Structure 1
Amino acid sequence: MQAAERTARESVVAAARELDALGLNRGTSGNVSLRFGNGLLITPSGVPTQALDAEAIVPLAMDGTSPAGTKPSSEWRFHRDILAARPEVGAVVHAHPIYCTGFAICGREIPAVHYMIAAFGGATVRCAPYAPYGTEELSRLALAALEGRSCCLLANHGMIAAGADMARAIWLASELETLCHQFAVALQVGTPQILSEAEIADTVRRFRGYGLNAPARQ
């Protein structure tokens, strides 16, 4: 294994463990991928995070094939399809965090209840309709929900975050879970005030103008 590939594989392992440490994922749920060469590197199917090492990470070609004896995540299809459709994306994170998944179970998109929603590309975070995990249908629905966005929810399932690199993808996943937590609390307190699309469009422009890779909460 070349040094560059080993480093990339180790970054996928580190990302999967970081998701657990942040409370965004646990056990064998969720998966992580990283663009590498002409394909991608992805976490394997059914391996607990703490059992992962560089050798366990699966190289996957864009035609969906992997080396004999390897078994990529059951969700490899939407990872591959997102990376194929979105050249600006370098890493994809899929997880089942509590608040994101709670809204996904309800089939609810997240409206502009906080200006930080602009970090995801627009005035909403969409929720893709339900489809069985690992299917071509789920991948198609996820791609539609991600149009013009970096994150989406998957009905009765979880969430996806797509970033320019792994650090960005994990940051987006964490921000989305925070936003969903805030929205859940606001719904308990009263009626959330929704920012206008114009206000969010202005925030999107501000983020671009600052040249921030990961804008901090103010």
Structure 2
Amino acid sequence: MHYLTVRLGGVVRVADYATFGSPELAASVVEGLADRSAVLMRNHGAVATGASIEQACERLELVEWLSDVYARAAALGTPRLLDEAELAAATDTFTRLNYGNRSYTPGC
């Protein structure tokens, strides 16, 4: 749906619903976080991880923005998720350009 999902390890998964505070919800969240840094919890909210609280909060803000983009796209039809090749190309470009880092200058 949007290439910035690569900043979270790929498409954000949705953990199955379970009662808050339950071992079942915890297990579902852990499963959703496999190879990812954020997960949505069905009927609850989101969880994001990071090396620091600042990084976790930045990732959570990205999840919220991506969710808004998805909701707007869904209002117009079925959003098309990017495939693995498209996400890999975005990852390569991020790395090559140092895209998204504070030192990134477009066109340089």
TM-score strictly above 0.5: yes
**Within-5 A mapping of 1:3-152:** 113-122=1-10, 124-152=11-39
* Distance in 2 (alpha carbons) for counterparts of 1:208 and 1:147: 22
Structure with larger RCO (C-alpha < 8 A, sep 6+): 2
Gaps of at least 5 residues in structure 1 are 1-112
Q: Percent identity?
A: 36
Aligned: 1:156 with 2:43: yes
Q: TM-score, normalized by length of structure 1? A: 0.43
Q: TM-score, normalized by length of structure 2? A: 0.83
Any idea what SS the aligned residue of 1:132 has?
A: coil
Does structure 2 retain, via aligned residues, the 8 Å contact 1:126–1:145?
Answer: yes
Structure with the higher fraction of residues in helix conformation: 2
**1:40-89 residue CA offsets vs partner (Å, 9 max, x unmatched):** xxxxxxxxxxxxxxxxxxxxxxxxxxxxxxxxxxxxxxxxxxxxxxxxxx
Structure with the higher fraction of residues in strand conformation: 1
- Kindly tell me: are residues 115 and 211 of structure 1, through their superposed partners in 2, closer, same or farther at Cα, counting changes over 3 Å? closer
Gaps of at least 5 residues in structure 2 are none
- Give the aligned residue type for 2:48: A
Q: CA RMSD in A?
A: 2.4
* Distance in 2 (alpha carbons) for counterparts of 1:164 and 1:141: 22
The higher radius of gyration belongs to 1
Q: What displacement does 1:156 show?
A: 1.1
- Choose the corresponding residue for 2:71, options 169, 181, 184: 184
